[in-house]
Each structure stands twice: as structure tokens, then as C-alpha cells.
A and B are shown apart, each in its own frame.
Chain A
Amino acid sequence: GENVEQHPSTLSVQEGDSAVIKCTYSDSASNYFPWYKQELGKRPQLIIDIRSNVGEKKDQRIAVTLNKTAKHFSLHITETQPEDSAVYFCAASTGTGANNLFFGTGTRLTVIP
């Protein structure tokens, strides 16, 4: 099955700096890559996603890039704010008749005011 690796496990940045989280996946059939933000004790919330026919997608301060050849994708957060502090999960889905997500192990992002 699919194996998703995520790095780093923890990341601290100064407010206003950029943060980058990287994920790799193993199954070349994976074609959907969402990113979720999870605050302590809360549900994962989708913040951005990308499909395999697109190389980059941006939504205000958040962007995701995908390199299908290398099987890796990254989350970029610019102009970080304290409210960006949370755990971020990447995920991958093959979508072959099923849509279940394989998650990375998470990155705890701390934005220091």
C-alpha cells in the first residue's frame, strides 16, 4: 500500500517568516494530495489540495507544489502568523475505486510572535 513520509516533525519559525513542509509518497498511482491542519483536540481541516494533473496551487498565503517524477509534494506557508501554529498533515490517495487517505506523520508548526 501507499507510504507517505513527512518532514520535519517539528518546525519553529518567527512570525512573518515562511514555513515549508515536505512529503514523499511511494505509490505512483496516487493522484490526489490534500493537506490538513489540526489544532489540539480538534478535527483535521482541509487547507489546500492538489491533483496530479497540476504542478502548483496557491491560495493566499498557502501554496502546494507537486513533483510527480520525484513523488514528492510540499506545503509552503508565507508570512506566517501565530494562528498558523498547529499540526499539519499531508496525505495521498490513489483514487482507484476507493478514496481513502494515507497520512504522513504530521508536522508541529510553532510560529513565534
Chain B
Amino acid sequence: DSGVTQTPKHLITATGQRVTLRCSPRSGDLSVYWYQQSLDQGLQFLIQYYNGEERAKGNILERFSAQQFPDLHSELNLSSLELGDSALYFCASSPQTSGGETQYFGPGTRLLVL
């Protein structure tokens, strides 16, 4: 157990819908990262938040957004869902945002868009 929690574990929804994925980092970690894992794209970085502020952006679609709240949990919002958004979504956390920090991954949310 990494100490990072994610809910829900599974989500099944329809195209065009909107969903929210939730992540709670390890106690004391200020950085939260979101990654998408799909069969054809591998593990891809989406976005990072550090202490409530957006820190880095990867290949995140405009239909996706995220935020980190004062209690440091983070939510990833996916809207206008498409079949291709079906994937495993992981969040990870680290203490700060300096280089070379170990990232601990949560168990993931499996999203299936029908």
C-alpha cells in the first residue's frame, strides 16, 4: 500500500458524459500528479499540482481539467467523454516538487466509456 488513495476504483459511463476522479496523496505530500495509461499510449503524464497550484502540464486534453484543494486532495474532471478516453487513470504523490523525488502511485481508477 503506497498511502495514495483513489476513488472510485471503476467507472462505467457513456460517451458525452462527465466524470470526476478523486485522489488523496500520502500524508505530508504536497505534489499530486495525474497519469493516463491506455493500451496504445502507455503511461502518459497529464498534469501536476503542488500545494494547490498547477505546476506542470503534459498531454492533457482541453476536455480534461484538474484541481488541488486546500486539504491537498485532487480531482481530475473528464468531460465530453469519448471512447478513446477509456483507460486507467493513476495519481501519484511526492513530498515536494524538486527533481529526483520518488513518486508513489495510487491504485488507479479504471474508466470505461461505452
Interface residues on A, range: 20 to 34
Within A29-84, the residues touching B (CB, 8 Å) are 31-32, 34, 36, 41-46, 49, 51
Interface string of B88-114 (1 = CB under 8 A from A): 001000101111111111111010000
Instruction: Tell me, in angstroms, the Cα distance from A55 to B110 when the chains sit together.
Output: 37
A99 touches B107 (CB 8 A): no
A93-107 at interface with B (beta carbon < 8 Å): 93-106
Instruction: State the CA gap A49–B99 with chains docked (Å).
Output: 13
B31 within 8 A of A: yes
**CB of A25 within 8 Å of the partner chain:** no
In the complex, the answer to whether A100 meets B42 with C-beta atoms within 8 Å is no
DSSP majority for the A interface?
loop
Chain A residues contacting B55 (CB-CB under 8 Å) are: 97-98
B55 closest partner in A (C-beta): A98
User: How far does the alpha carbon of A86 sit from the alpha carbon of B38 in the complex, in Å?
Assistant: 17
| Shortest distance between the CB of B7 and any CB in chain A (Å) | 14
Task: Give every chain A residue within 8 A of B83 (Cβ-Cβ).
Answer: none
Which chain B residues lie closer than 8 Å to A95 at the CB level? 98-101
A-B contact pairs, 19 of them (CB 8 A): A31-B99, A42-B108, A43-B90, A43-B108, A45-B105, A49-B102, A93-B99, A95-B99, A97-B55, A97-B97, A98-B97, A99-B99, A100-B33, A101-B33, A101-B35, A101-B103, A103-B44, A103-B45, A106-B43
